[in-house]
Structure 1
Amino acid sequence: MADQSNEQARNTAFAEPLDVSSRGADAGQSSMGTQAVATGVGQSEPLLLGTYTPKIDKKGRMALPAKMRAQLGDGMVMARGQEKCVYLLPQAEFRRIASRIQRASMGNKATRSYLRVFLSGAVEGEPDKQGRVLVPQNLRSYASLGDDIVVIGVGTRAEIWDRESWDEYLAAQEEGYSDIADDVLPAVEW
């Protein structure tokens, strides 16, 4: 029962479909080549895409993929993600997610627990002049990150995975990819 409540809280926090109809349908290119969806109010949400394989150095720094730097901006937040990865979020997206979680019922134990874990592990960061960000030790430990990692774009966020964990996860998910599409895509009009 508690597992269902925890899953429900996670789904509530992150299950917001992208509604481009209310934001305008313009899709533009940033100067770095990564697409963004126009919001209609002069701001754009990132559309982080792709798979990259940077390394983490001995000091815990990772070079951000060049195509993601402009989308993430100068300020970003790293936080614990699901499936033992690290989320890398633009400040605005992190604030949107945190706000949604905080608006959920504080009378719900699963919501309180999720909020504590999510926010207590979150760390603000900025890339240095070489485009590197420090991945804090607590987040490297949480996601079992060694020096061999994968950074994937997942729309409004990026995720940092241990390379072996990502390869296993992807292999397991690819098997049922078309079956998952039947559940996820019916509401999407092509």
Structure 2
Amino acid sequence: MFLGTHTPRLDDKGRLILPARFRDQLLDGLVITRGQERCLYIFPMQEFQRMHEEMRQAPLTNKEARDYQRVFLSGASSELPDKQGRVTVPPLLRTYAGLERDVAVIGAGARVELWDLRTWESYLDEVEPAFADRREEVLPGVL
């Protein structure tokens, strides 16, 4: 499980040094792809394969499912961390997420999210008050 927030920097080649706590779970390969709110999702290869199998269950006649799969999969890039725990974030994905140098790497349970640091901070400023004041179940049966 991925937890916590880390604030590394991308190097001049667009490489991300994965947080040490996340490396063991990503050593065998990972997939980086577009996420919601203009962040990037990083999945361990096995989790990505599981998700892909679930996506395949959607009927081809469902246009919304086709659109989602096209965007999600067309930007996906499989990567293998190097010995220093670095992975290259492809230019297409860096552009999508507005990544330049300062980034936030957050643990989101089964995935990691990669955000432009300022965008992440703005997002938190916007949604954290609603989180603190939540009165109804958002995740039924969890809280």
Same fold (TM over 0.5): yes
How many residues are matched?
143
Q: Which residue does 2:89 correspond to in 1?
A: 135
Distance in 1 separating the partners of 2:94 and 2:135: 31
1:157 aligns with 2:111: yes
How far did 1:180 drift? 4.1
- TM-score computed with the length of structure 1 as normaliser: 0.72
How far did 1:182 drift? 2.2
Kindly name which structure, 1 or 2, has the bigger radius of gyration based on alpha carbons.
Answer: 1
Retained in 1: the 8 A contact 2:26–2:81?
A: no
1:67 aligns with 2:67: no
Q: Which residue does 2:35 correspond to in 1?
A: 81
Within a 5 Å distance, the mapping from 1:100-119 to structure 2 comes to 100-119=54-73
Any gaps of 5 or more consecutive residues in structure 1?
1-46
Percent identity between the two aligned chains: 50
| Greater relative contact order (Cα < 8 A, sep 6+) | 2
Q: Which residue does 2:50 correspond to in 1?
A: 96
RMSD: 1.3
CA distance 1:172–1:91, shift in 2 (3 Å): same
Distance in 1 separating the partners of 2:56 and 2:27: 24
Distance in 1 separating the partners of 2:38 and 2:89: 14
1:55 aligns with 2:1: no
Q: Which residue does 2:101 correspond to in 1?
A: 147
Retained in 1: the 8 A contact 2:38–2:96?
A: yes
Any gaps of 5 or more consecutive residues in structure 2?
none
Within a 5 Å distance, the mapping from 1:30-49 to structure 2 comes to 47-49=1-3
Q: Where in structure 1 do 4 or more consecutive aligned residues deviate above 2 Å? A: 178-183
- TM-score computed with the length of structure 2 as normaliser: 0.95
